[in-house]
Amino acid sequence: ETGVTQSPTHLIKTRGQQVTLRCSSQSGHNTVSWYQQALGQGPQFIFQYYREEENGRGNFPPRFSGLQFPNYSSELNVNALELDDSALYLCASSSASQTKSFYEQYFGPGTRLTVT
Amino acid sequence: DQQVKQNSPSLSVQEGRISILNCDYTNSMFDYFLWYKKYPAEGPTFLISISSIKDKNEDGRFTVFLNKSAKHLSLHIVPSQPGDSAVYFCAASTRPRDDKIIFGKGTRLHILP
């Protein structure tokens, strides 16, 4: 069984640029959530996708957007990058068909984004 | 406005002793609580959870206690092992199947030999 993978591992971008981060869900999982973890903070919920539709969103501006594909992999896009967007971006997958709660999410190792 | 607070950034415990990690919350609507463990260069790993209808949940060496009146929960690890050295995040949500989980800032646990 393949776990959650994310690419790239590290990324450096310039303020104002756009970035796309990718996530492959664990096999059999149909729900993907994205989190931002700034230095010294806990993960902060950005949004969740379930069967290719946005299923909830945290307090992030519209320049943070996402996609989920038919194979349940996902992308996080951030436009007009700001210095404060520098963080670890975590993707987590889960399966709504499980008898267990959504909360047993399986996290990927994250993408470290640095905006200069 | 931090709804989930972990006031101890770090904690050091002797191997074999009990580790107690604390968490406070402010939102009385929270009714589902979780603990995650994170090693460097890895994503958080789900450890244990508790529903607000319970005051204790146990899984092997890990026990979570919930005191709703004090809006406080704690994670007990007994006995502490070297592999327990990690960052522990307390998290909460308002419904069991809510999409939005609120995390605390984490506590770094060091298990001393």
Instruction: Tell me the CB-side half-sphere exposure of residue B67, using CA atoms within 13 A.
Output: 9
Provide the pLDDT for residue A69: 93
Per-chain mean pLDDT for chain A: 90
Distances (CA, A) of B95 to A4, A10, A81, A114, B112: 25, 34, 33, 34, 37
Q: Above 70 in pLDDT, residue A75?
A: yes
Provide the pLDDT for residue A51: 85
A113 CB near a chain B CB, below 8 Å?
A: no
Q: Which amino acid, one-letter code, is at A116?
A: T
From chain B, the residues in CB contact with A35 under 8 A are 103
Q: CA torsion B59→B19→B92→B71, rounded to 10°?
A: 110
> Could you tell me what percentage of chain A is helix, strand and coil, using 3-state DSSP and rounding each to the nearest 5?
5, 50, 50
pLDDT band at A97 (very low <50, low <70, confident <90, very high): low
Q: CA Rg, chain B, in Å?
A: 13
Interfacial residues of B (vs A; Cβ cutoff 8 Å): 4, 6, 32, 34, 41-46, 49, 89, 91, 93, 96-106
